[in-house]
């Protein structure tokens, strides 16, 4: 309270109006000898990080006043209001004074002013050599680019953050995800609630189950390709990010398959060209990359052409042997444990020629 009331009197009263300018100039308002002030840190050649925490130090004295009775104020740039220094407004018995400060590029000037009880003042200034602040540095080591997950997988997130001015823990750090195409019409980046923590060494770790819960359910399941970003913002508002791309598929499932032609129990004659068609589907694999195998219960393997990219598998055959066939199509995806799904129709190939022969033979008998 004392400091603030004295500050106000200094600002408005003639008693301590700042008549001194330049380095180590002395005010001559009151009676007695003026004090002296010298900034000892930073020195004029010292480089100070922009925006970084810095303890400015100075030395004050007075020929005819008790040193602890002097009042010291620190100013940045051309500011009229002194800093509120945690170290207080009086020097110690040795005349030492200090103040926690930070510098911005547009205010590189530091000013120390000392006043004695008679209203005499003196000041010292130093123009600091500022090193421009930098944005944080961000890396991601997990998930790796191209990694594939199921929607119910636990995904580990590992990265690092660092900054030229701030400690890692004081950075604002978060992970976000966005699906491809989301920029234009989708919900955009979604911050992930994965319990991410930042360690003192700058390592960032978290893990999440069901990443897609960050997205509206109506949109997330329709998308596979996601960008994962690690974002860090420092205390000066400088922001950096890096990203990786992953794929998220629905929960693992075997292919689906259904024979659509010909209709069940259609009867063909030997030598007829029979066109089989089936539709195939899978929750993950491109449909033209599924393994397809047609078999006949009578003739064994009869075809293995892949489906087209729309999921239609076709088999044209005119060599089925005479008799009843159960036709089966097996479709296998690329899971480590292959899975198959089957369906069947019964085809009866008539023995038209044989019957004719028998009729002729029987007739002759």
Beta bridge partners of residue 295, listed in sequence order = 301, 328
Q: Which is nearer to Ca ion, 124 or 165 (CB)?
A: 165
Distance CA 26, CA 21 (A): 8
Q: Could you tell me the smallest distance in angstroms from the CB atom of residue 44 to Ca ion? A: 25
Q: Could you tell me the smallest distance in angstroms from the CB atom of residue 103 to Ca ion? A: 14
Q: Are 124 and 23 in contact (CB under 8 A)?
A: yes
For 358, phi then psi, to 5°, come to -65, -40
Q: Could you tell me the smallest distance in angstroms from the CB atom of residue 323 to Ca ion? A: 35
Q: Could you tell me the smallest distance in angstroms from the CB atom of residue 187 to Ca ion? A: 27
Q: Which is nearer to Ca ion, 48 or 133 (CB)?
A: 133
Q: Could you tell me the smallest distance in angstroms from the CB atom of residue 337 to Ca ion? A: 11
In the chain the first and final C-alpha atoms are separated, in Å, by: 133
Distance CA 324, CA 118 (A): 121
Distance CA 357, CA 362 (A): 8
Which residues of this chain interact with Ca ion, rule CB under 5 A? 32-33, 62, 64-65, 116, 133, 163, 165, 234, 282, 284, 333
Reduced to 3 states (helix: H, G, I; strand: E, B; else coil), residue 93 is: coil
What are the start-end ranges of the H helices in the chain? 2-12, 182-185, 217-220, 352-364
Q: Which is nearer to Ca ion, 252 or 272 (CB)?
A: 252
Q: Which is nearer to Ca ion, 223 or 339 (CB)?
A: 339
Q: Could you tell me the smallest distance in angstroms from the CB atom of residue 225 to Ca ion? A: 18
Q: Which is nearer to Ca ion, 140 or 331 (CB)?
A: 331
CA 41 from centre of chain: 40
Q: Which is nearer to Ca ion, 124 or 234 (CB)?
A: 234
């Amino acid at each position: 309270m004392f400091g603030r009331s004295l500050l106000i009197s200094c600002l408005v009263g003639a008693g301590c109006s700042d008549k001194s300018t330049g380095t180590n100039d002395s005010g001559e308002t009151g009676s007695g000898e003026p004090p002296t002030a010298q900034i000892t840190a930073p020195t004029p050649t010292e480089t100070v990080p922009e925006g970084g925490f810095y303890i400015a130090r100075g030395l004050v004295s007075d020929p005819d006043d008790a040193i602890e009775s002097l009042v010291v104020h620190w100013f940045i740039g051309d500011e009229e209001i002194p800093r509120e220094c945690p170290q207080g407004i009086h020097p110690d018995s040795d005349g030492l004074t200090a103040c926690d400060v930070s510098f911005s590029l547009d205010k590189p000037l530091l000013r120390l002013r000392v006043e004695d009880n008679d209203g005499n003042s003196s000041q010292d200034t130093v123009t600091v050599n500022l090193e421009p602040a930098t944005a944080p540095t961000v890396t991601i080591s997990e998930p790796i680019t191209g990694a594939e997950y199921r929607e119910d997988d636990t995904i580990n997130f590992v990265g690092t953050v660092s900054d030229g001015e701030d400690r890692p823990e004081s950075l604002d750090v978060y992970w976000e995800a966005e699906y491809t195409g989301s920029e234009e019409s989708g919900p955009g980046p979604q911050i992930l609630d994965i319990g991410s923590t930042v360690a003192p060494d700058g390592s960032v770790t978290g893990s999440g189950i069901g990443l897609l819960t960050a997205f509206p359910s109506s949109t997330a399941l329709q998308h596979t390709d996601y960008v994962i970003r690690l974002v860090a913002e420092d205390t000066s508002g400088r922001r950096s990010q890096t990203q990786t791309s992953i794929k998220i598929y629905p929960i693992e499932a075997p292919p689906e398959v259904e024979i659509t032609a010909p209709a069940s129990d259609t009867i063909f004659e030997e030598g007829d060209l029979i066109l089989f068609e089936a539709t195939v589907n899978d929750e993950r694999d491109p449909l033209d990359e599924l393994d397809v195998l047609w078999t006949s219960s009578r003739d064994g393997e009869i075809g293995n052409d892949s489906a087209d990219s729309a999921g239609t598998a076709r088999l044209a055959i005119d060599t089925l042997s005479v008799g009843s066939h159960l036709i089966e199509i097996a479709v296998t995806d690329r899971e480590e444990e292959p899975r198959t799904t089957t369906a069947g129709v019964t085809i009866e190939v008539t023995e038209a020629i044989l019957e004719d022969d028998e009729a002729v033979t029987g007739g002759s008998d």
